[in-house]
Structure 1
């Protein structure tokens, strides 16, 4: 099973290769994807799954009883305006990817390491030598500095020394402020 929800968020000059390139008959692969995340309509919750016909028919049985479907009106809108949506959102995605790369460099300049990854609008920053765990760090950052991050512990115990930073919706100026504040708090709490 592959989650390719951020397949549009690849670095400039890089080519995205879908998992289906390795299983064109879809006999051993389930591909999950999101139109919502890729095309800037995340509140709409529109996604899709690609796999073999037999498995699709079984998944549809589950889906019908577990998940409410996207409103029909929104599906019609996507179908009618899909090319326009791509034309409009792909430049936005490219700007976000470039911004994410600049913010990763800014963190590195401030001696904050991030886990590798370049196909999303998030950065997973290490707390390094800070003596705080991720929840306490995030709480302090928000309460004392007005900067919000997601504590890594929400992704499991192995991530408790990290925080997730989003670069998808804020201005570059606010992101620089946030990253500077994160780096300063890490340094202060060593």
Structure 2
């Protein structure tokens, strides 16, 4: 028996991912319709796969530069300027990472000192607070609510700031709510952020999946680029989750600090995946647009359907998640998700795993076929009637 004292106290205190538990339950059941998986249902485009195969056939199997191949960093720089109007130097302000998750990890470890506070806006992706803790920081959660479409209000942000606050983590479009912060929202928040001299870690992994208005990066707001660490990647917009490739853009001094951690912990991202990503940026935008149109149709269907069967659901501006309220059932998020899975074989994620402000909701991914979405709605409607 291994002594518990062998385990780091920081790690021992971390809670396992609440998402995983429902995936594990569903995996052992037959006939499950899953709305739980947070990844595209599209296969990576053939030209991208072909580029990866070609890189292997050409013998490109060595390490790359720690920050990634320069051709890819240049393409990322061009892409970010063309699509989102933010300009980063590929030589010293862009690092190619092993997914956006690693980018968030090294960003936090590069800027957070022990005991400093990082504001985490909930509901949010389950890894944010644990990554802050593992970096030695103290995660301070800020609650948002459905009445304001889960948008962070400037006065709520200001009330959460203390002398120990170092940074704030913002995800737009958001996982799990799909909420997108527009330019006016970001401008108002930026005034508070600049006033208190905070850093921003902006998770923009869903930037390509914005439906009703153009995506705005917080880095384009005047005075924000020099204090923003911008996270993005290829998993969601380009349907490349399994390739594990992301990137982080930041001011030179912060980028250099992150690169030190990346050098010692990861060396470099997969060479094959980097050449695939290079092709994605050069020739993959038509496929991205096709996926975006498909997700938008599915969003419209599932939001309308949830409201029709009695689950109040706001209209998400991006990503591929609906976040309906189940408060009128009298069940907790955990109870609803468990009973729905056991009785109707539909897998959803209880909202409270994304933070306390997610209680009373469930996260439903609409990155599934229309046939699956229709079947899921039928089963959920039947569950509600019973």
Could you tell me the TM-score, scaled by structure 2's length? 0.45
Q: Distance in 2 between matches of 1:150 and 1:67?
A: 31
In the alignment, structure 1 residue 93 sits paired with structure 2 residue 270: no
Structure with greater Cα Rg: 2
Q: How far apart are 1:167 and its partner, in Å?
A: 0.6
Q: Give the superposed CA RMSD.
A: 2.1
Q: How far apart are 1:66 and its partner, in Å?
A: 4.5
In the alignment, structure 1 residue 117 sits paired with structure 2 residue 117: no
When structure 1 is superposed on structure 2, of 112-121 and 91-100 the one drifting more is 112-121
Q: Which structure has the higher relative contact order (CA within 8 Å, separation 6+)?
A: 2
**2:258 counterpart (59, 66, 72):** 59
CA deviation map 1:44-70 (0-9, x unaligned): 121111110000111122233455753
SS at match of 1:37: coil
Q: Distance in 2 between matches of 1:68 and 1:115?
A: 43
The alpha-carbon distance between structure 1 residues 54 and 148, as it changes in their structure 2 partners (threshold 3 A), is: same
Mapping of residues 155-170 of structure 1, within 5 Å: 155-168=354-367, 170=368
Unmatched runs of 5 consecutive residues or more in structure 1: none
Q: Distance in 1 between matches of 2:326 and 2:233?
A: 31
SS at match of 1:27: helix
Q: Which residue of 2 aligns with 1:34?
A: 233
**Does structure 2 conserve the Cα–Cα contact (< 8 Å) formed by 1:151 and 1:163?**
yes
Q: How far apart are 1:4 and its partner, in Å?
A: 1.1
**1:171 counterpart (361, 365, 369):** 369
Q: Which residue of 1 aligns with 2:304?
A: 105
Could you tell me the TM-score, scaled by structure 1's length? 0.87
SS at match of 1:5: coil
Unmatched runs of 5 consecutive residues or more in structure 2: 1-200
Q: Distance in 1 between matches of 2:259 and 2:230?
A: 15
Bigger share in helix: 1
SS at match of 1:33: strand
